[in-house]
Amino acid sequence: MKLTKTLFLGSAAGLMAASGAFAADLPVKAKAVEYVKICSLYGAGFYYIPGTDTCIKLGGYMRADANFNTNSDFNPNQSGTAGARNRLMNYYTFRAREDLNIDTRTATEYGVVRTFFDGVFTWTSGNYTPTGSATGATQYSGTLGLNAAGTALVGSGSGNVNGTDGNTSAGALGVYYAFIQFAGFTMGKAVSQFDAPWTNYPGNITDNLVGGSGTVTGVNQFTYTADFGQGITAAFSAEDVSAYYQAGNLNMTGATAGGMIGGSYGTNAIGGTRSPNLVGMVRVDQAWGLFQASVAAHDNHVGYYGATEPTGHPDDKWGWAVQLALSIKNIPTGAGDTINIQGVYTDGATRYNFQNLSGSSYALYGNSGAAGTYGSVGFANAPDTVFVTGSSQETVKTWGFRGAYTHNWDPNWNSALYGAYAQAQFGTLAKTTLCGAGGGGGVFGGLAGVTGCNPDFAIGQLGVVTRWTPVKNLTFSADVSWTHLDQKYSGTVGLVPNVVTAKPAAVYELKDQDSIAMILRAQRNW
């Protein structure tokens, strides 16, 4: 019995010792981890940044575009090599893009402090342009390699692909929005306060509609927005002029007939920045839709009449623009159907109508049935102001509208019919300089064969887009658009094209031009 007790106690002591050894090998209990928590203050998708009271939301999209009859992702072929509409133009352009946006918000005693960033990583097909070499070789723009014979290898090398994207593996980075909002102020790069809420897209996916403003990639600004309740807000903003709002201040003393046919009516003499654009906006948001009225003032500041200071300069000329926008929701044709429309008038502030992604310079070639002609050409240009050496600036006046009707066929399919129109009107100085006092003289009007000369013009656009969303946040779209240049020149003109287009020196009919483009898009939002 005594031996059994001794063995039992010894075994117990051994087990206790072993247990202690095993316990020493176990890890020390970790401190509690701060897990990411949902932030319900600002809607779905927000989370608290661990260890802070700041909420963050990540979002974006992946997009693939196939564009036809265009040298870019959005514009039809309207000028330069693209406007030649021959074997040098692109019949298609591909683009792949990833968008990333970061939204942070923090509640403070002064209200919510918000920061927002939206950047895109893009790869776009190159533009096909002539090299201008004696051999007549052509290339995609950028630095090309050479073969053993010293001849350019088309598409090779690692230079810029189209002046925007980088080399063959780099692509391009774009910063769309980067701003801070605090106590009613918006500071940084954001959509202009002048723009309608749909910017360039009343119902479409094309970027190039005329008939209103549209800073879809944001403009640097300092803005104060007052909220009066009941859906009524008002804003006053000082916005950067240099990136998107200078359509040109042209010295027509340097105008030539060849330059006009290329879409240039003189030498651009824009000076340095002096004043930001001043913008005011009032908006009413209600269950039925919204109404917005916007005004803007634009300072046209010119350099010198000539190359040096003693040549003098015209005084600054302020331009202005006004825009009305209306959105109607819950219309009887179907759930979610909408009508968006807007109208604009500008005087010396052309980019609020012919917005930067549409441009305001046109030079398109086409066919002709007129006897003795090689083909036809239509051209136009709408700057902010024009002048001649020794004169004051004369503003260019424009007006336009755009709109769309969107119908939902079912939860997975919708279509939109959209259109736009813009007209530019020149003053007495421009018409006299370019066309003579009676339309039969000046730089262009006195040329042999010209029977009508008037720089006024209009752009009309019409399109339809259909979208299919088979699963949530994945959409396939097809957008077809037609653009018509209604120019006011008539007759014929013998010319030597001064833009490298492969067009010969010949007689061309002065004629309106049409262009059709299509975008096929696949987009996954996240």
Residues 90 and 207 in one domain: yes
Please report which helix (H) or strand (E) contains residue 435, including its range: helix 428-435
Encode the chain (526 residues) as per-residue pLDDT tens digits: 444 444 444 544 454 444 444 444 555 555 555 678 999 999 999 999 998 999 999 999 999 999 998 877 666 678 877 888 888 888 888 999 999 999 999 999 989 999 999 999 998 887 655 544 333 333 333 323 333 333 332 222 333 334 444 455 567 889 999 999 999 999 999 999 999 999 999 999 999 999 999 999 999 999 999 999 999 999 999 999 998 999 999 999 989 998 899 888 999 999 999 999 999 999 999 999 999 999 999 999 999 999 999 999 999 999 999 999 999 998 999 899 999 999 999 999 999 999 999 989 999 999 999 999 999 999 999 999 999 999 999 999 999 999 999 999 999 999 999 999 999 999 999 999 999 987 789 999 999 999 999 999 999 999 999 999 999 999 999 999 999 999 999 999 998 776 678 889 999 999 999 999 999 999 999 9
What was the pLDDT predicted at 156? 28
Whether 177 maps to a domain, the answer reads: yes
Residues 387 and 521 in one domain: yes
Residues 364 and 467 in one domain: yes
Residues 134 and 263 in one domain: no
Cβ(423)–Cβ(378) below 8 Å: no
For 295, phi and psi rounded to 5 degrees? -135, 150
Q: Are strands 375-381 and 506-510 parallel, antiparallel or unpaired?
A: parallel
Q: Which domain holds residue 135?
A: 128-161
What was the pLDDT predicted at 151? 31
Residues 439 and 511 in one domain: yes
Residues 205 and 216 in one domain: yes
- Count structural domains, the chain: 2
Count Cβ neighbours within 10 Å for each residue of 101-131 and write b for 16 or more, e otherwise.
bebbbbeeeeeeebbbbbbbbbbbbbbbbbe
Whether 417 maps to a domain, the answer reads: yes
What was the pLDDT predicted at 145? 30
Whether 2 maps to a domain, the answer reads: no
Strand-pair partners of 397: 347, 425
- What pTM does this model have? 0.86
Whether 302 maps to a domain, the answer reads: yes
Whether 116 maps to a domain, the answer reads: yes
Question: Which two structure tokens, joined as six digits, stand for 140?
Answer: 């995609």
Residues 377 and 242 in one domain: yes
Question: Which two structure tokens, joined as six digits, stand for 392?
Answer: 């004051």
Residues 157 and 276 in one domain: no
What was the pLDDT predicted at 157? 31
Whether 23 maps to a domain, the answer reads: no
Residues 91 and 142 in one domain: no
Q: How far apart are CA 414 and CA 407, in angstroms?
A: 6
**Could you count the other beta carbons within 10 Å of the beta carbon of residue 524?**
13
What was the pLDDT predicted at 31? 57
Residues 78 and 157 in one domain: no
- Burial class for 328, CB neighbours closer than 10 Å (0-12, 13-18, 19+): middle
Residues 325 and 427 in one domain: yes
Question: Which two structure tokens, joined as six digits, stand for 112?
Answer: 């919510």
Give the end of a domain, one of 161, 179, 207.
Answer: 161
Residues 246 and 349 in one domain: yes
What was the pLDDT predicted at 173? 87
CATH number of the domain encompassing residue 100:
2.40.160.10
What was the pLDDT predicted at 170? 62
Whether 32 maps to a domain, the answer reads: no
Give the end of a domain, one of 139, 161, 183.
Answer: 161
Whether 26 maps to a domain, the answer reads: no
Q: How far apart are CA 476 and CA 412, in angstroms?
A: 10
